[in-house]
Amino acid sequence: MQCSICGAKFQKGERYTKDHVFPIAIYKWASVWCPDETERAEIIQKLSSAENIQYAHEKCNFAKADSIPELQTLALDEEDFEVLQNMKKTLEAHIESFTDLKDSLLIKQKYKCYCCGMPLVTGTIRRINPDHARTIKNACIVCTKCGEDVESFTHISTISRFVKSIIDK
């Protein structure tokens, strides 16, 4: 068995995860741009399909975060590749909306993690306040480390004044 992201074979005892080729975050944030519940149900059905779930090294999956990969760069068998290529075509508008949301948040945050202020090229979309709905005003981009450190992320008081000042400008 091999990692779908880097193509290397798994070594004995190596940690691996199940990776959503097209991230489930597309469905989670779809309510921002897609009010139709039936259409959102179709999105989650596609994103939860067996073909969209591939094995990957834990480190490769974390590095990928919720980015949208180029299918040609992945180690996929021919059948899964064709299914995912068709899925990408049917989800194209949603993938574009998701990518636009990430890009706009990166620009708003001046390419810095919302929590720690580290420079970002990409990151993971999170809710600023997990008790509120997913909306553009309640969205931010965080680095992989802060995105996984849910305990400190959910305590808004831990966000530095420096980072807040960058966001407010």
Residue 127 placed within a domain: yes
User: What pLDDT digit, counting tens, does each position of 99-119 carry?
Assistant: 999 999 999 999 999 999 999
| Distance, CA of 85 to CA of 47 (rounded, Å) | 13
Same domain? 8 vs 41 = yes
Mean pLDDT, range 126-137, rounded to an integer: 91
Same domain? 89 vs 9 = yes
Same domain? 19 vs 83 = yes
pLDDT at position 149, please?
67
pLDDT at position 72, please?
93
Residue 102 placed within a domain: no
Smallest CA-to-CA distance from 57 within 123, 24, 8 is with: 8
Q: How many domains does the chain contain in total?
A: 2
Residue 75 placed within a domain: yes
Same domain? 153 vs 115 = yes
CB atoms within 10 A of CB 147: 20
pLDDT at position 53, please?
94
pLDDT at position 94, please?
95
Same domain? 74 vs 120 = no
Of 97, 118, 150, which one is at a domain's C-terminal end? Answer: 97
In which domain, by residue range, is 59 found?
A: 1-97
Of 58, 76, 97, which one is at a domain's C-terminal end? Answer: 97
pTM of the model: 0.81
Smallest CA-to-CA distance from 75 within 84, 66, 62 is with: 84
